Chain A
Amino acid sequence: MIYFDQAATSFPKAPGVPEAVCQALQTMGNSGRGAHHLALEANRLVFRAREHLAQFFKANDPARIAFTANATESLNLALEGLLKPGQHVLTTELEHNSVLRPLYRLKAQGVEVSVVPSDQKGIPDFAQLEQLLRPNTKAVVCTAASNVTGNVTDLDYLGDFCSRRGLAFILDAAQTAGSFPLDVKRQKIDILCFSGHKGLLGPQGVGGIYLREGLELRPLKVGGSGMQSYSTRHPSEMPEALEAGTLNTPGIAGLLAGLKYLNRVGLEQIRSQEQELTRLFYLGAKDLPGVKIYGDFSTFRRCPIVALSLSGLDSAYVSQVLAQDFQIQTRAGSHCAPLMHRALGTEKEGLVRFSFSHFNTKEEIKIGLRALQQIVTRKERN
């Protein structure tokens, strides 16, 4: 089996991740609940994970990192927690439904939403940001990279744009955390939402949010915190202010193991390998008859994603043939990014997305290309 669906979730996980999850299950209690040995071990592990994440995103204070179940929960928390009816928010056509659906719901409640359009390569026209600004604009929310095309966003530009105008910059880092370095201070990111199971190589069910000091969010959930039990209000201290209920300590343990692995190997090395695999695949696929590749390949400073269509074939069919006949796992369809597909003109048939990680090999890329070639040949014969 060859796994080319790394943008959905990483597989395999980093060495040490399954062991860390098992160890947490076998040796730890409930973080923040009590002062006995097992609870304290869980507390310490969760704190170490916050420290690692703060260092990873160049944040000063581990207390500004709160854990959630996934990037979607973090984005819901950021958007629902920050925006109020009557305020205006800017976003882009690149966004995943984890951004769009909370925004549509907020729109129904009176939040104004403007969308920056993108061209046929999926590049957003940030020159329009200025024109879309309104006196009540509160924030810009944007993905760090399209999960469809793999194009990366110019975060320095966006951070600067927001900072100069006093707007909150909310970043969906689900696709780039673990491949591209993120620096919340330098890139002026106010809220960073991340997933633990993609580039960070941890288990599913754990994600998180970084919240800049001085910024507050209305929590999505309130309840048990292990703190101030007699208060009728949920604690306001970060990070517990955004964490109600028992944390996913085994998941956090796995995420910590993933982070340690990334720190050992280095993002530059990982990115370099991923980009080499992407380049190989792109160069081998782009001239196959009937194949059309989407996205901006003028640079390989991009996420390791190649999304393509085969003329006349539905993406789900191609993906199914790849899985059944060649044991190659890809993702077909619309990838929860409806506006991106609309902009690319691929709403009807969708795209087949190949997404790689540094755990993939050049040999696997060659097998993938041969499979694609065979599907093209079969199509031509028919």
Chain B
Amino acid sequence: MDDRDFELMIVFRSTTEAMAWEKAAKGLDLPGRLIPLPPQIKADCGLAWSATLGDKEVIFKAAGEYDLKYGQILEWRRGAWNGK
């Protein structure tokens, strides 16, 4: 397995936090998109920001620089949900 088998998953504590992230990410042209959160992750608002592992650095940098709030950042194996 290599990086292409994983995706970056930014998990939010609330729907409002997810919306604030999405708006900032669009404004900053950050890579990724909102997706439904894999059901295995329980502490959630049902939404996550998904990007490639290669985008990790640029996303971390922007989150720090612009004080973007989120719950946690996970590296998630593609296809690890839906029972695959």
Contact = CB atoms under 8 A, between A and B. Distances in A.
Interface of A: 31-35, 40, 43-44, 46-47, 50, 62-63, 226-228, 230-231, 235, 237-240
Given A33-B46, A227-B14, A239-B14, 8 more contacts: A32-B46, A46-B19, A47-B19, A63-B20, A228-B44, A235-B14, A237-B14, A238-B16
Which applies to chain A's interface (DSSP): helix, strand, loop or mixed?
loop
B46 A47 contact: no
B45 interface: yes
Contacts of A63: 14, 16-17, 20
B42 interface: yes
A63 B21 CA distance: 12
A240 B17 CA distance: 10
From B13, B16, B20, name the one whose CB has the most chain A CB atoms within 10 angstroms: B16
A140 B20 CA distance: 33
B19 A34 contact: no
A31 B42 contact: no
Contacts of B16: 47, 50, 62-63, 237-240
A49 to B, nearest CB: 11
B23 A227 contact: no
Contacts of A40: 34
Nearest to B36: A35
Contacts of B19: 43-44, 46-47
Interface in B7-62: 13-20, 22-23, 34-37, 42-47
8 contacts: A32-B45, A43-B18, A47-B16, A47-B20, A47-B23, A228-B45, A237-B14, A238-B16
The 3 closest A-B CB pairs, nearest first, are A35-B36, A47-B19, A32-B15
A227 B34 contact: no
Contacts of A33: 46
A35 B47 contact: yes
A228 B43 contact: yes
Contacts of A34: 36, 46
Contacts of A50: 16
B20 A227 contact: no
